[in-house]
Structure 1
Amino acid sequence: MQSSSELFPVALLSAELRGDLAEDVYRLKPGNSPDPSVELAVTRLGRADREGGRGVPVILLHGSFSNRRFWYSPKCIGLGPYLAREGFDVWIPEMRGHGLSPRNQAYDRNQVADYARHDLPAIAAFVVEQAGQAAHWLGHSLGGTSLAAALGGQYLGAAEVASAALFGSQVSRNYWPLKLPPVEWSSRFLLKRMGGLSGSRLRRGPEDEPVGVALEALRWYRLFGRFGDREKDWWAGLAECRVPVLAVASKGDFQDPPWHCRQLLEQFGSEVREFLCLGRREGFSEDFGHAEMLISKAAQREVWPLVRHWLQHGGLPRQVDVQVSA
């Protein structure tokens, strides 16, 4: 089969019409990872009546225990279809072993470091090749964390990222028991024996997560831990990042609280940094939860239009209670 890219092998798995939208599903085999078996599924959504001229590209990154369905349902409801109907060229990757992306040979050892160093740059290169310009990136939870890691590690830059929006993403929350070495060691031992994290068993989502991601998080949060890997300090590298960035947090999100989401934003060296908190005190109808900030009916009415405005104008509307980092 002829590749859909001149960069690396890319197969077009399907091309379907979903009502007023066109859905193309690609499978990328970048070959840039130590594990040569890695393949990544990327779904593109666009308006069926605009196939001759694509809009501005937007890449949506799902979080942990999730897949492309976080962004759009089989009935084409979600932020992805909303943005596609607004004229954007929407791309939705699925991380290794999630959704349509098959599990690679070293699946259990997959880490955010692999996503940041290998997978996101490959996705960025493919989208830039297809769209002819840098994409805007939106990441939820672990998706936003992975994007921050790629930017802090300088694996992605202005040539691939027009702007970055991080929803419910943070890396600075203190888990004090993990600062005690015996607790961290025992947690590591238990995780290795589990062999993986079941989304259905933990009631976190439809997908499983490799144990490597959890072990990596232990390194971040342990005593003298840092947001980075053995080669690079991603946290320090964010100070060199210059792409426009938006951080969105929710008052009802107890997993990734607003203060810590803001702290991640303030580490960026970008000239344009905006922070938005979704809560009743800020004028919203409710204190949104971790997932509800993007997938609820209230989010459809109140949050999605703000996302569209950010993508179209590089900032949020003035009437919104937005805080700009100095």
Structure 2
Amino acid sequence: MQSSSNLFPVALISAERRGDLSEDVYRLKPGNSRDWSVEIAVTRLGMADEAVPRGVPVILLHGSFSNRRFWFSPKGLGLGAHLARLGFDVWIAEMRGHGLSQRNEDYRHNCVADYARYDLPAIAAFVREQSGQIPHWVGHSLGGITLAAALGGEYLGEPAVASAAFFGTQVSRTYWPLKIPPVEWGGRFILKRFAQLSGSRLKRGPEDEPIGLAIESMRWYGLFGRFGDKDKDWWAGLADVQVPVLAVSAAGDHQDPVWACRKLFDQIGSEHKQFINLGREQGFSDNFGHVEMLVSKAAQAEVWPLVARWLNDQQTPLLARKADLAAAG
């Protein structure tokens, strides 16, 4: 099959109509990492009967134990579908071994460092080639962590990022047992016996996660750990990020608490950034949870419009009258 890109081999593996939406799924094989078997599935959503050129591109990154269905359900619901109906050019990436992305040969060792260094730049290059515009990025949980790593590590920059939005994203929560070196070493030794963590068994989601992610995060939270890899300190690099940034936490999120999400936000050096906490004290209908902040009827009514407003205008405060909104610029 002829490649759909001049950058690297890309195959259009399906082109379907989903109600009023069009769903085109591409499989990218960038060949830019040590594992040449890596293939990344990227779904493009648009209006099925739309004849005019597509709008501003937006790339959505799912969290752990998840896939593209977090953003776009089989019934055509979700933030991705909502944005497509508003005229945005929506791209939904699925990380290695998730959803329609095949498991690569070195699957068990997949980690954020590889996602950030190799996969996100390839996705960015392909979307820019196809759309002719610089994309906005929206990441939830692990998707946001990956985006933060790519920005802090300077694997993605202003030529590839128009703005970045982080939902339920943090790397500062303290796990005290991991501060004891023998505990961390023992935990890593045990984890290395497994290839993946089962999302269904852990009741965390429909997908598995490679054990490499768990081992990597244990290094971050260890006694002398840092958010980074052996080559770069991503946390320190966030201070140099200058693209517009939106960070959103949820008052009822016990996995990624507000204070930790706020700490990531404060570390980012951008002059144009906003922080929103989804909770009753801030005027929202409920104390949103980790998933409910983006997937719920309340999110559809209260959060999705904020995302659309952000994508259209990163300079105007989204919630000017909310006490916890931090805006610079």
TM-score by length of 1: 0.98
User: Superposition pairs for residues 281-320 of structure 1, below 5 Å?
Assistant: 281-314=281-314, 315-319=316-320
Partner of 1:20: 20
Q: Distance in 2 between matches of 1:319 and 1:265?
A: 18
Paired residues, number: 326
The aligned counterpart of 1:183 is 183
Residue 125 (structure 2) pairs with residue 125 (structure 1):
yes
* C-alpha contact 2:59 2:138 (8 A) present in aligned 1: yes
- Alpha carbons of 1:325 and 1:174: their partners in 2 closer, same or farther (altered >3 Å)? farther
Aligned-residue Cα RMSD (Å) equals 1.0
Tell me, in whole angstroms, the C-alpha distance in 1 between the residues paired with 2:53 and 2:195.
Answer: 46
Q: Contact 2:319/2:325 (CA < 8 Å) preserved in 1?
A: no
In structure 1, list runs of 5 or more residues that go unmatched. none
Aligned to 2:211: 211
In 1, the alpha carbon distance for the partners of 2:110 and 2:85 equals: 34
- Name the SS of the counterpart of 2:201 in structure 1: helix
**Equivalent position of 2:104 in the other structure:** 104
In 2, the alpha carbon distance for the partners of 1:80 and 1:95 equals 17
DSSP 3-state at the match of 1:13: strand
Per the alignment, in what secondary structure is the counterpart of residue 213 of structure 2?
Answer: helix
Q: Secondary structure at the match of 2:49?
A: helix
TM-score, structure 2 as length reference: 0.97
Shift of 1:317: 2.8
2:147 maps to which residue?
147
SS state of the match for residue 108, structure 2? helix
| Cα displacement string for residues 226-276 of structure 1 (whole angstroms, at most 9, x for unaligned residues) | 000000000011111100001000010000001110110111111111100
Q: Which amino acid aligns with 1:142?
A: L
SS at match of 2:162: strand
Give 3-state SS (helix, strand or coil) of 2:93's partner. strand
Larger % of helix: which?
A: 1
Task: Indicate the SS of the match to 2:36.
Answer: coil
Partners of 2:317 and 2:11 in 1: how far apart?
37
Query: Matches of 2:77 and 2:229 in 1, distance apart?
Result: 37
Identity of aligned residues (%): 70
CA distance in 2, matches of 1:72, 1:317: 24
The structural deviation recorded for 1:194 is 2.7
Describe the SS at the equivalent of 1:165.
strand
Spell out structure 1 runs of 4+ moving beyond 2 A.
49-52, 315-320
5 Å matches for 1:1-326? 1-314=1-314, 315-319=316-320, 321=322, 323-324=325-326
